[in-house]
């Protein structure tokens, strides 16, 4: 008898799979397609446990569906552009490309050691010219359509690193890398017009309800932040201009007592000139403008404002309203101007108290009299309008509509919708990214690089000094000729945010070598959308929103008719050690390689599937994985213990002629198959693995009772074991293929059909009849299954132990749950 030797068999089967190209897939209209995708990794150097968990889950799904007759696309690749590569270049002098490709090499070997069923012929790296050239082409088309544009915008800028930082790279107002203060700078930056799709991105979420985690849907909803309201124009007193405000509470417009403008608002300079002490006020405004944006966005940051000296006119009341500049007003949101109603907005209330501005109540709640003199906070609830002219007495929700209608009629306002979502800033002043394919000509201005000149390649050599954008310093790259006039021109040196690459890689997988466009329409029509996407919840908004947006853009550019890329989403939890995320700094990293070394890949995969349901965080346990290894050894001994007897016999057997133990074994097997099938369908891998363990325990008990001399019995057991092995295949594929072959079979379990179970044999002959008296369990009785209600009642009532509880009492009623339970209600 062979001992379970994971390393030997894993190496053997991985080689066999590779040689037979078992994971290669093609479009095939004869079979239903299934696109199973896991988020591709950043090639940071080594695979970590989080990846192994993610990909183990994906592999079960892919292998299961393939065995169920689907044509499964299961690709893998590399999200290969990004800052760590450039940091490595700065720190160790390795070229980002060398660093990245070496990491890919290593991580690919690690993934292969884990036995995942990827079609490696579809592998892609986003830093390949063949990949990013198509991204440049799509960019040009977006530019043409106005979906990509350049504008001056306030951004986070680190003086020391001489580069723009994304919001998430600003930690507590400081640069995450050099810890120097981040300032706000107005810079020309490239944006994608994601706001144009705000409504569609919001509505699209409805289609995904039930198939994406609710949490992710809600996060995207919040992020998009649609709010309905109105825009109202306030004329400036003594100036032929007006201020437009956005408000969600047009019903409170009669309560406006001042106006707040964002410091960046373009009218501010002009208004301040109306103040007698222009210079002093301008100084104050400048001070507010210099407050870092990141700090201004914090809740605790002190709210302050400056009176501009100017007034505007409330179009409803004709009242003069003072105009303030306030640091809490965001220029990017709404119109950058807010009508302040201190009685009904807490922020305005606090501001009014601070600067001693009037408070005017215009909404009265029922059964309560609001008095501006005694109010301690704003009343933001509903009520009836007062002090509001012809709208007095109206319920405020009604008044919203009436006031909007009135304004639209008179032409100084309208109902409108605003979003929190901003356009996507995609410029990065970094080397290791996709170059933005435009040039600047002194004569022609900004000129797109013609398509036939793509790709705009990253220059191989660039100085990685740690300051400034290396691309700017490569003369050969920067200096070029204008495609329009042939004159001297400068290249754009910004590269694209790496989230752009990950926004369409799933399309590229469908035809990764296609050289006539980003992807082959036919292949995409066949494979897309992704049927099951699996990855970490940390991408709930960023990547998953960008990818949805980009898909809609590709659709509108005519590349596809898919408008939601991921039909279903599973967000797996993190892998923790000692209750926290694994990290080098905390020294609690468990290295997958060392675990594979110790137990083999199958054990590692099995533990990650068993230790927690996929969507929950998983606590790594050295003892836990040990338990999984012991289980596989026990299972191995069970399945191979009589292998020489089993190998020679057929599979057809006569159930009726089996021994009791044989019958029991067959029934256990079919019940197991039923349970595992149902669990895998629902992604409940942890309970599926538990079912295998339970099965193994029971079969060990039966082992000595089974008649190993009887041919019919042997045939039955062989059939059972083969079915079990097939069901194990998605979980522990090397183990399964080895036992499959020891049982005398050719080929791979992955090419076999998922085992069917016989419903007849999953039925219990006997049940435990639970008898309750007044809802408390008082007896458990072994009884044949399928009894009628009357028979169950009879058994219950006549039971000795039950009699004790019901004698001398009157039975009020008896509730029967067929095949399960009887509850006798007595008084």
Partner RNA sequence: GCCCGGGUGGUGGAACUGGUAGACACAGGGGACUUAAAAUCCCCUGGGCCUUGUGCCCGUGCGGGUUCGAGUCCCGCCCCGGGCACCA
Could you tell me if 502 and 426 are in contact, meaning their C-beta atoms sit under 8 angstroms apart?
Answer: no
Q: How far is the CB of 234 from RNA (least distance, A)?
A: 13
Residue closer to RNA (CB basis): 347 or 642: 347
Q: Which is nearer to RNA, 476 or 800 (CB)?
A: 800
Pick 104 or 262: Cβ nearer RNA: 262
User: Which residue is listed with tokens 């800052």?
Assistant: 83
Q: In this chain, which of 296, 360, 400, 577 binds RNA, going by CB under 7 A?
A: 296
Task: Please state the φ and ψ torsions of residue 283, each to the nearest 5 degrees.
Answer: -60, -45
Neighbour tally for 308: CB within 10 Å: 26
Q: State which of positions 523-542 bind RNA (CB under 7 A).
A: 537, 541
d(CA 95, CA 464): 9
CB of 354 to RNA, least distance (A): 12
Establish if 146 lies at the interface with RNA (CB under 7 A): no
Is 386 an interacting residue with respect to RNA (CB under 7 A)?
no
Give the nearest distance from C-beta 74 to RNA in angstroms.
Answer: 25
CB closer to RNA out of 124 and 341: 341
**Residue 545 neighbours by CB under 8 Å, 6+ apart:** 194, 201, 220, 223
**Which residue among 356, 516, 753, 776 contacts RNA (CB under 7 A)?**
776
Q: Which helix (H) or strand (E) holds 723?
A: helix 711-728
The Cα–Cα gap between 568 and 560 comes to 19
Q: Measured from the CB atom, is 633 or 745 closer to RNA?
A: 633
Of how many residues is the chain composed?
827
Single residue of 121, 171, 287, 297 touching RNA by CB under 7 A = 297
Question: 316 is written with which tokens?
Answer: 């409803």
> Is residue 345 involved in binding RNA (CB under 7 A)?
yes
Per-residue x/- track, 623-652, RNA (CB under 7 A): xx-xxx-xx-xx------------------
Helical spans, DSSP H, in 23-123? 49-67, 83-92, 96-113
CA distance 172 to 189: 23
The nearer residue to RNA, 527 or 692, going by C-beta atoms, is 692
Interface with RNA in residues 398-417 (CB under 7 A): none
Token pair in block for residue 569: 């989403």
CA distances from 779 to 748, 771, 774, 806 (A): 50, 5, 12, 13
Residue closer to RNA (CB basis): 454 or 824: 824
Residue 33 interacts with RNA (CB under 7 A): yes or no: no
CA nearest 728: which of 826, 632, 629?
632
Q: Which position among 126, 156, 418, 503 is part of the footprint of RNA (CB under 7 A)?
A: 418
Using CB under 7 A as the binding rule, whether residue 324 contacts RNA is answered as no
Question: Pick from 43, 229, 433, 437: which binds RNA (CB under 7 A)?
Answer: 229
**Rounded to the nearest whole angstrom, what is the least distance from the CB of residue 186 to RNA in the complex?**
18
Segment interacting with RNA (CB under 7 A) among 102-110, 242-250, 449-457, 788-796: 242-250
User: CB of 202: closest distance to RNA in angstroms?
Assistant: 14
User: Strands 182-192, 174-175: parallel, antiparallel or unpaired by DSSP?
Assistant: unpaired
Only segment of 120-128, 730-738, 769-777, 785-793 that touches RNA (CB under 7 A): 769-777
Instruction: Round to whole Å and give the CA distance between 685 and 50.
Output: 16
State which of positions 160-219 bind RNA (CB under 7 A): 214-215, 218-219
Phi, psi of 424 (to 5 degrees): -85, 115
Q: Least distance to RNA from the beta carbon of 316, Å? A: 15
The residue among 330 and 589 lying less far from RNA, judged by its C-beta, is 330
Query: What are the φ and ψ backbone dihedral angles of 810, each rounded to 5 degrees?
Result: -100, 135
User: Please, are residues 572 and 53 in contact by the beta-carbon 8 Å criterion?
Assistant: yes
Task: Among 778, 792, 793, 795, indicate the residue that binds RNA (CB under 7 A).
Answer: 778
Nearer to RNA by C-beta: 165 or 628?
628
Residue from 178, 485, 705, 777 binding RNA (CB under 7 A):
777
Residues in 802-821 at the binding interface with RNA, rule: CB under 7 A: 813, 815, 817, 820-821
List the one residue out of 366, 371, 362 whose CA is nearest residue 340. 362
Task: Mark out the alpha helices in 427-497 (DSSP H runs).
Answer: 475-478
In terms of Cα–Cα distance, which of 239, 235, 243, 312 is closest to 273? 239
Tell me how far CA of residue 246 lies from CA of 269, 414, 418, in angstroms.
Answer: 21, 10, 8
C-beta closer to RNA: residue 240 or 800: 800
Site for RNA in 656-695 (CB under 7 A): 684, 686-687, 689-690, 693-694
Subset of 591-620 contacting RNA (CB under 7 A): 611-613, 616-619
Residue 798 binds to RNA (criterion: CB under 7 A): no
Among 257, 427, 511, 772, binds RNA (CB under 7 A): 772
141-149, 273-281, 300-308, 449-457 -> range binding RNA (CB under 7 A): 300-308
Q: Which stretch, 113-121, 151-159, 274-282, 293-301, contacts RNA (CB under 7 A)?
A: 293-301
Window 251-290: residues binding RNA (CB under 7 A): 262
Name 384's Cβ contacts closer than 8 Å, sequence gap at least 6: 363, 364, 366, 393, 394, 395, 396
621 touching RNA, by CB under 7 A? yes
Q: Which is nearer to RNA, 218 or 485 (CB)?
A: 218
Burial, 466: exposed, middle or buried (Cβ in 10 Å; 0-12, 13-18, 19+)?
middle
The whole-angstrom separation of Cα 557 and Cα 793 is: 70
Does residue 338 touch RNA according to CB under 7 A?
A: yes
Contacting residue, 775, 790, 798, 807, with RNA by CB under 7 A: 775
User: Rounded CA gap, 533 and 537, in Å?
Assistant: 12
Q: Where are the beta strands (DSSP E) in 353-508?
A: 363-364, 384-385, 413-418, 424-425, 427-428, 438-441, 445-448, 479-481, 488-491, 495-496
Q: Does 577 bind RNA (CB under 7 A)?
A: no
CB of 77 to RNA, least distance (A): 26
CB of 805 to RNA, least distance (A): 8
SS3 254: helix
Count interface residues toward RNA (CB under 7 A). 82
Q: What is the 3-state secondary structure (H, E, C) of 525-567?
A: HHHCCECEEEEEHHHCCHHHHHHHHHHHHHHHCCCCCCCCCEC
Nearest residue (CB) to RNA, 125 versus 198:
198
Establish if 151 lies at the interface with RNA (CB under 7 A).
Answer: no
């Amino acid at each position: 008898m062979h001992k379970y030797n994971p390393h030997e068999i894993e190496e053997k089967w991985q080689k066999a799979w590779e040689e037979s190209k078992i994971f290669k897939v093609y479009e095939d209209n004869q079979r239903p397609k299934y696109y199973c995708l896991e988020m591709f990794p950043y090639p940071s150097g080594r695979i970590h446990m989080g990846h192994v968990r993610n990909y183990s889950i994906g592999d079960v799904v892919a292998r299961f569906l393939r065995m169920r007759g689907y044509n499964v696309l299961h690709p893998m690749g590399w999200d290969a552009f990004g800052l760590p590569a450039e940091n490595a270049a700065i720190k160790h002098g390795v070229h980002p490309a060398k660093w990245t490709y070496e990491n890919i090499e290593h991580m690919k070997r690690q993934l292969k050691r884990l036995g995942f069923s990827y079609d490696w012929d579809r592998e892609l790296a986003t830093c390949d010219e063949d990949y990013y050239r198509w991204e440049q082409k799509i960019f040009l088309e977006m530019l043409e359509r106005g979906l990509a544009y350049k504008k001056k915008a306030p951004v986070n800028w680190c003086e020391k690193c001489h580069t723009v930082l994304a919001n998430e790279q600003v930690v507590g107002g400081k640069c995450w890398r050099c810890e120097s203060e981040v300032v706000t700078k107005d810079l020309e930056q490239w944006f994608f017009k994601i706001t144009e799709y705000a409504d569609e991105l919001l509505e699209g979420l409805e289609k995904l309800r039930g198939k994406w985690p609710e949490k992710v849907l809600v996060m995207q909803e919040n992020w998009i932040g649609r709010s309905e309201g109105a825009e109202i124009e306030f004329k400036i007193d003594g100036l032929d201009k007006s201020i437009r405000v956005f408000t969600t509470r047009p019903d409170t417009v009669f309560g406006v007592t001042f106006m707040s403008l964002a410091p960046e608002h373009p009218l501010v300079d002009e208004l301040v000139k109306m103040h007698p002490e222009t210079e002093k006020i301008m100084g104050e405004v400048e001070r507010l403008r210099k407050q870092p944006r990141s700090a201004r966005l914090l809740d605790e940051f002190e709210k302050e404002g400056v009176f501009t000296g100017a007034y505007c006119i409330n179009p409803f009341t004709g009242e003069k309203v003072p105009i303030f500049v306030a640091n809490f007003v965001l220029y990017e949101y709404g119109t950058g101007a807010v009508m302040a109603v201190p009685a009904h907005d807490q922020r305005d209330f606090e501001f009014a108290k601070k600067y001693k501005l009037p408070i005017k109540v215009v909404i009265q709640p029922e059964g309560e009299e609001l008095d501006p003199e005694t109010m301690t906070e704003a009343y933001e609830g509903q009520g009836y309008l007062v002090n509001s002219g012809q709208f007095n007495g109206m319920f405020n929700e009604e008044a919203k509509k009436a006031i909007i209608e009135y304004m639209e009629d008179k032409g100084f306002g309208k109902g409108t919708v605003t979003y929190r979502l901003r356009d996507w800033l995609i410029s990065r002043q970094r080397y290791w990214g996709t170059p933005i394919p435009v040039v600047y000509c002194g004569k022609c201005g900004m000129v797109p690089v013609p398509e036939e000149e793509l790709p705009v390649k990253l220059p191989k050599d660039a100085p990685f000094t740690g300051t400034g954008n290396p691309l700017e310093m490569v003369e050969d790259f920067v200096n070029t000729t204008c495609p329009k006039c042939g004159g001297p021109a400068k290249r754009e040196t910004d590269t694209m945010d790496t989230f752009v690459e990950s926004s369409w890689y799933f399309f590229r997988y469908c035809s990764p070598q296609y050289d006539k466009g980003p992807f082959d329409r036919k292949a995409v029509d066949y494979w897309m959308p992704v049927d099951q996407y699996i990855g970490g919840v940390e991408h709930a908004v960023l990547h998953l929103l960008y990818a949805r947006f980009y898909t809609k853009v590709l659709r509108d550019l005519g590349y596809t008719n898919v408008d939601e890329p991921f039909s279903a989403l599973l967000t797996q939890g993190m892998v923790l050690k000692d209750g926290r995320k694994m990290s080098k700094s905390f020294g609690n990293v468990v290295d997958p390689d060392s675990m594979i070394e110790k137990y083999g890949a199958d054990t590692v995969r099995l533990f990650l599937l068993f230790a927690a349901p996929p969507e929950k965080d998983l606590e790594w346990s050295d003892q836990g994985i040990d338990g999984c290894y012991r289980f596989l050894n026990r299972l191995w001994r069970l399945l191979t213990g009589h292998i020489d007897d089993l190998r020679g016999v057929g599979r057809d057997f006569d159930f009726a002629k089996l021994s009791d133990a044989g019958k029991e074994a067959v029934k256990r097997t079919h019940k197991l198959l039923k349970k595992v099938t149902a669990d895998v369908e629902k992604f409940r891998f942890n309970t599926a693995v538990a079912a295998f363990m339970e099965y193994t325990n029971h079969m060990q008990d039966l082992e000595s009772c089974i008649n190993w001399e009887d041919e019919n019995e042997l045939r039955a057991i062989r059939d059972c074991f083969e079915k079990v092995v097939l069901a194990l295949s998605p979980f522990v594929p090397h183990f399964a293929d080895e036992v499959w072959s020891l049982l005398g079979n050719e080929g791979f379990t992955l090419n076999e059909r998922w085992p069917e179970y016989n419903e007849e044999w999953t039925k219990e002959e006997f049940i435990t009849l639970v008898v309750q008296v007044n809802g408390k369990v008082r007896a458990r009785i072994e009884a044949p299954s399928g009894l009628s209600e009357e028979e169950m009642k009879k058994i219950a009532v006549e039971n000795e132990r039950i009699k004790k509880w019901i004698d001398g009492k009157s039975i009020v009623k008896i509730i029967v749950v067929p095949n399960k339970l009887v509850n006798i209600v007595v008084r």
